[in-house]
Chains A and B, each alone.
Chain A
Amino acid sequence: MGLALLLVVWLITFVSTYFFIAHPSWMWLPPVATTYGPQIDSQFTYTYIAMGIVFVAAQVALGLFAWKYRDRGHAAAYYSHGNIRLEAVWTILTAILFVGLNLMGQHIWAQARFQGPSPGSEQVEITGMQFQWYFRYPGSDGKYGRTLAKLEDPSTGNALGIDPDDPAAKDDIVSSTLVLPVNRELDVTLKALDVIHDFFVPEFRFKQDAVPGLLIHMHFTPNRIGDYEIDCAELCGSGHYKMRAGVKVVSEADYQAFLKAPQQWLTEHPWNGPMSRGLMQESEAKPPAPALQLAMRHHQSQAENH
């Protein structure tokens, strides 16, 4: 029985460790597409090396002890109540390891969340509602128009409740596909209109809850052109599973073209993810329904109503 335990525990350990070391790309963090992503990945690597060593050491010892110290009819077990010195050494070592790992990673967090975006960052407002994402750009005035809860109505095309009487709203752009310029820092504002949602793009190494009643400011810089997928990562109701949208990271020229004529540009350049996994050759890979890609200049439709 001791031998069986040794074999099974070691086998489990080595198979798990093998996949951690070999990690084919489909079972690992997807390729990074933001400037701060590589720091997260290297912190991840340090952690998994440290934890991997402890994992293998502990499991190997467990299997080994089970086999080596099995009852072979030998003389009595070793009578000992422990060893304070060993205990202290082990405690100090683990404390250094765990606290050290923690301190190593803190600056990445501080950089991502303590400091605000630098001035001149590109502004985007991300709003979650059941079960759809809306992305708003402030337009050339750099100001978002006022929103009013009583005006929120997706059926009129004004899901965000933008107040047409506010001059700042006139040049706001609302899109259901997120288009971002490459290598520009983004000043992101997260909002939720009904329940908690979560904006998650794995390639960006970015995730943040959008919380009703809170305006959450975040910043990051995408640095790889491509089409990615946004998943809502917070359970938000019966349609949670379909609350996804596309992100396109594009060149500066394309971004300016998008801002000029969002609807037209998106029709010509539909979201076509996920390219980073090379899965597009699969026949069932379809872009989202055209309806999801409708972008419009709100002041136009609203102006017609007046």
Chain B
Amino acid sequence: MGNVQNTPHRADVGVVDSSVQHAAHAHAAPTGFIRKYIFSLDHKVIGLQYYFLALASVFTGLILSVLMRIHLVWPEWAIPGIGIIKDEQYLGLLTLHGTFMVFFVLTTAPQSGFGNYFLPIQIGAADMAFPVLNMLSFWTTFAAFIVMLGAFFTVMPIAGWTSYPTLSALPNAGSLPWGQDLWLLSIALFCAASLMGALNFITTTLDLRCKGMSLWRMPLTCWTWFVTAILGLLAFGVLLSGGLLLLLDRNAGTSFFVPGGLVVNGVQQRHEGGSPLLWQHLFWFFGHPEVYIAILPGMGVASQLLSTFSRKPIFGYRAMVFAVMAIGLLGFMVWGHHMFMSGMSPYTAFAFSLMTMAIGVPSAIKTFNWLGTMWRGKIRFYTPMLFAIGFVSLFVSGGLSGPFLAQPTLDIPLHDTFFVVAHFHLIMGVAAIFGIFAATYYWFPKMFGRMMSESLGRLHFWFTFVGTYAIFMPMHYEGMAGRPRRYGSMVVAGGLFNRLAALMPLEKFISIAAFVTAAAQLIFVINLFWSMKKGEKAPVNPWEATTLEWTIPSPPPHDNFAGNTPVVNHGPYEYSVPGVERDYVMQTDPASVHAH
């Protein structure tokens, strides 16, 4: 393990061609506090705003999950300020846990947070294409967050993050006014904001690349942000319309999702002609691509870091790009795998299942190439690299339960059990969060001009990595044993759940592992805020990496390249090039350094 501070200071190698003055996007730095930090147009400030919004959300979601784990094994505990958690309150907890995590963390931090901050810099642009739209999309997301907190504090919605009608459409079925309505309003706002963000990312990638930054020289992070933005553009519009239709069903007497002849709590409903399955199609047409919206940027970060810290070019750069595109494309053809048990035509299950299995192929390519990148490398184990390796491990573990659930035959016993909970938590939950952690440790020096503590970082990694497996691996077995998800305490629920009584010790083990892992996240928070103030001063290029953000000061100036647009001469992963003295070639190094 080398010492970060001994790393040579290489600011001088970022050769800048000052003859190309693309200053069109360079705007003067604002001076007032509000324009600088609140209603900022600077993509870096907006990226950080998204990041801290995600941080607030992830701790909200984490606390909710701890409460859930308490209720599942010690339902009699009275929690200070909350009291005893009832089985129906458990449904509120899981609904908001899922919502905060999926929307405000997994969609927000990897794409809107890091993407906003580093996409323009990595392609050599001074800002995003539409800075005002960028600001608007953040503040719309923030409004969505506030509205969601409103749902939290009025009547907690209980319909799950998937909010299936007719439960979510008929208030007297349990989706009480305010809670469910605010939930839908928040999601609609979030979708609108994500559409703005997606347009901005796509335009920026296509139009603002600096001289020499061809598409095939973009870092894989940029490729994943780009493809994720395309997914977002196609997916969020569908959820937005679904959410608005459901709001109308609830409040304007329409019947998009409610069929006729229903009697709820003894009251005949006046709706007729709608279909509850329509919502599921709209929701999962968004919902499956959403999985990739959460995980693709993490794949980009893992690729970037594995190459950098193995001191090796990424294995199969073009295969990686095509795999990302294939995942994006196939991702829109598989949504029905969430609906094998829904009553939709069983014939469609063939197609959805085949497509879903096919998506395993590009995912396997990615894994193979990550391992290929480490193979015969010279690996430096800094904290970001530990999290990148953890990402690969979790991606493999979470990914391999996919082919079970992709087969409708096996979905019969496993659907809506803890097996599914284990699967998606490993792959889209924790793997994506490992991507966020890896990105945080990696880019923190650039964003804040200081290094994070390596020893705290390592401690955080080991607790989180082992804890994650301790929490989610056993859930596979529970699911196989037939433990349904979204059930409150197994002990108190009428005493009927003897079928699964033998699982209780395992449930307790999971809860304890969850408490320890949750507590270990404090190490991260302490490291984050302590390092902002007290961390060692970061050099320009602490990791000896090649991409453009490592050519400019830490933190970067207002318009990134001080008006001097960089010129790119090399691909993003030129490490250990034979015949070159240093073991890396910056993208901006003169073409003569290494001919291709």
Known contacts A101-B403, A237-B167, A237-B174; A65/B371 CB under 8 A: yes
Number of interface residues of A (CB under 8 A): 112
Q: Which residues of B contact A43 (CB under 8 A)?
A: 407, 409-410
**Proximity bits, A171-195, B CB within 8 Å = 1, else 0:** 0000000000000000000100111
User: CA–CA, A285 to B501, complex, Å?
Assistant: 10
Bound: A282/B496 CA distance, A: 12
Given the known inter-chain contacts A29-B480, A94-B361, A130-B173, please indicate yes or no for A78 contacting B407, CB distance below 8 A.
Answer: no
CA distance A168 to B533 in the complex (A): 80
Chain A residues 14-64 with CB under 8 Å of chain B are: 15-16, 19, 23, 26-30, 39-40, 43-44, 47-48, 50-51, 54-55, 58-59, 61-62
Q: Are A82 and B317 in contact (CB under 8 A)?
A: yes
B521 interface contact, C-beta 8 A:
no
Known: A27-B481, A71-B2. A98 touches B259 (CB 8 A): no
Residues from 366 to 396 in B contacting A, C-beta threshold 8 Å: 367-369, 371-372, 374-381, 386, 389, 392-393, 396
Q: CB distance A27 to B503 under 8 Å? A: yes
How distant is A296 from chain B, measured CB to nearest CB, in Å? 20
Query: Which of B2, B498, B503 is the one whose CB lies under 8 Å from A282?
Result: B498
Q: Is A277 an interface residue (CB 8 A)?
A: yes
- Asked if B335 is at the interface of the complex by the 8 Å CB criterion, the answer is no
Is A195 touching B361 in the complex (CB atoms < 8 A)? no
CA distance A126 to B372 in the complex (A): 54
For residue A125, CB closer than 8 A to chain B, the reply is no
B294 within 8 Å of A by Cβ?
A: no
Q: How far is the CB of B574 from chain A (nearest CB, A)?
A: 9
Taking residues whose C-beta sits less than 8 angstroms from the other chain, chain B's interface range is: 35 or more
A240 to chain B, nearest CB (A): 7
Bound Cα distance from A2 to B386, whole angstroms = 10
Chain B nearest CB from A226 CB (Å) reads 12
Q: A44 contacts B410, CB within 8 Å?
A: yes
Task: Report the minimum CB–CB distance from B313 to chain A (whole Å).
Answer: 5
Say which residue of A58, A77, A211 sits within 8 Å of B277 (CB atoms): A211
| Residues in B313-338 with C-beta less than 8 Å from chain A | 313-317, 319
Q: By the criterion CB–CB under 8 Å, are A26 and B173 in contact? A: no
Q: Given A62-B371, A77-B575, A81-B317, are A273 and B499 neighbors across the interface (CB < 8 Å)?
A: yes
The answer, among B158, B316, B493, B578, for a CB contact under 8 Å with A87, is B316
Would A23 and B578 be within 8 Å (CB), given that A69-B376, A241-B493 are in contact?
A: no
Partner of B409, one of A19, A54, A105, A152: A105
Chain B contacts for A274, CB-based, 8 A = 498-499
Residue of B nearest to A150 (CB): B268
Q: Check: A305 CB closer than 8 A to any chain B CB.
A: no
Q: What per-residue 1/0 map shows which CB atoms of B267-283 lie under 8 Å from chain A? A: 01000001111000000
Q: Interface-forming stretch among B115-123, B202-210, B349-357, B512-520? A: B349-357
Given the interface contacts A44-B404, A82-B369, A209-B341, does A77 sit within 8 Å of B167 by beta carbon? no
Assuming the A-B contacts A19-B477, A238-B174, are A277 and B502 also in contact, with contact meaning beta carbons closer than 8 angstroms in the complex?
yes
Tell me the dominant secondary structure on chain A's binding face: mixed
A244–B494 CB distance below 8 A:
yes
Q: Are B268 and A114 in contact (CB under 8 A)?
A: no
Residues from 235 to 278 in B contacting A, C-beta threshold 8 Å? 258-266, 268, 274-277
B350 & A106 in contact (Cβ 8 Å cutoff): yes
Which positions 231-287 of chain A face chain B at CB distance < 8 Å?
Answer: 231-242, 244, 273-274, 277, 279-280, 282, 284-286
Question: A55-B396, A55-B400, A109-B346 given as contacts; is B413 within 8 A of A202 (CB)?
Answer: yes
Query: Complex formed: what's the CA distance from A6 to B265 in Å?
Result: 57
Nearest CB of B to A118, in Å: 18
Q: Which of B310, B349, B401, B415 is the one whose CB lies under 8 Å from A207?
A: B415
What are some 28 contacts across the A-B interface (CB < 8 A)? Answer: A12-B393, A16-B473, A28-B480, A66-B374, A69-B376, A78-B375, A81-B315, A82-B369, A87-B316, A90-B368, A91-B364, A98-B357, A98-B403, A101-B357, A102-B403, A105-B409, A114-B346, A150-B268, A195-B173, A196-B167, A207-B415, A231-B487, A233-B484, A235-B164, A238-B88, A241-B489, A241-B493, A273-B499
Name the 8 nearest CB pairs between A and B, nearest first.
Answer: A213-B259, A202-B482, A82-B316, A113-B346, A27-B477, A237-B174, A78-B376, A26-B502
Q: Point out residues on A near B: beta carbons under 8 Å.
A: 1-2, 5, 8-9, 12, 15-16, 19, 23, 26-30, 39-40, 43-44, 47-48, 50-51, 54-55, 58-59, 61-62, 65-66, 69-71, 74, 76-84, 86-87, 90-91, 94-95, 98-99, 101-102, 105-106, 108-109, 112-114, 129-130, 149-150, 152-155, 161, 190, 193-196, 198, 200, 202, 205-209, 211-214, 216, 229, 231-242, 244, 273-274, 277, 279-280, 282, 284-286, 288
